Amino acid sequence: MKKKPTIPEIFSALSEDEYLKSLIKKRIIKIILGSSVIRALPAGTKPILTLRLETIPVLELCAIDSQISFNAWHKRQVSKVEKCLKGCINDSTRLKEDEVFGHAAKIFNLYLSHLVLYSAFFSQDEVMRIKYFLHVPLDSKVFSAIKVDKSLDIPNSIKSLKPKSYNSIQDTIRKCAAQFKLPAIYFDEFAWTLEDD
């Protein structure tokens, strides 16, 4: 049996920035892959998805300095998550390959927003810059909150969300947020606390 570390040994390990950041990523992944997110995905997806998210090069965010650069980086990372999810689909799963994009984008956006806004992974200066680039995790709560905007093509469900509609929704939310000098990601705080009518 492996000997459990003492409290000083634990803090000695935690003083190593790389180790602490790896634990923060693991904790965030556990939080965002709760039952409400994972239930729509095939059985056995969670451990595979956990490994995929752990390998996302999130420190690259520190060098990103524009929304265009962030969007290109974001697209590459969502594609990796989408590929991971597609690899978990088989004939017995309800979710089909062409219904995965919305789930992949939501999971990735939840991961990034929690890592940036709700953890000590990035410095305060980095958070103040990166949070303006983040995308809103789109789901039924956000769709319900934006239904008042008739110009948007709002899907019936996350599994019917396609990249074109996704980008249009993100752009609309981001432009409105910019008018108030706020990060678009703040919209998620509103959507998730909005009471169902």
CB 87 within 8 A of CB 104: no
User: Mean per-residue pLDDT for 40-44?
Assistant: 87
Mean pLDDT estimate for the chain? 93
102 token code pair: 């919305």
Q: Which residue has the tokens 């790896």?
A: 22
Using pLDDT thresholds of 50, 70 and 90, give the confidence band for residue 177.
very high
Other C-beta atoms closer than 10 Å to the C-beta of 129 total 16
User: Which pLDDT score is estimated for 95?
Assistant: 81
Using pLDDT thresholds of 50, 70 and 90, give the confidence band for residue 147.
confident
pTM as predicted = 0.94
User: Mean per-residue pLDDT for 124-129?
Assistant: 97
CB 70 within 8 A of CB 131: no
* Spatial separation of the C-alpha atoms in residues 169 and 167, rounded to whole Å: 5
* Residue among 145, 143, 139 nearest 195 (CA): 145
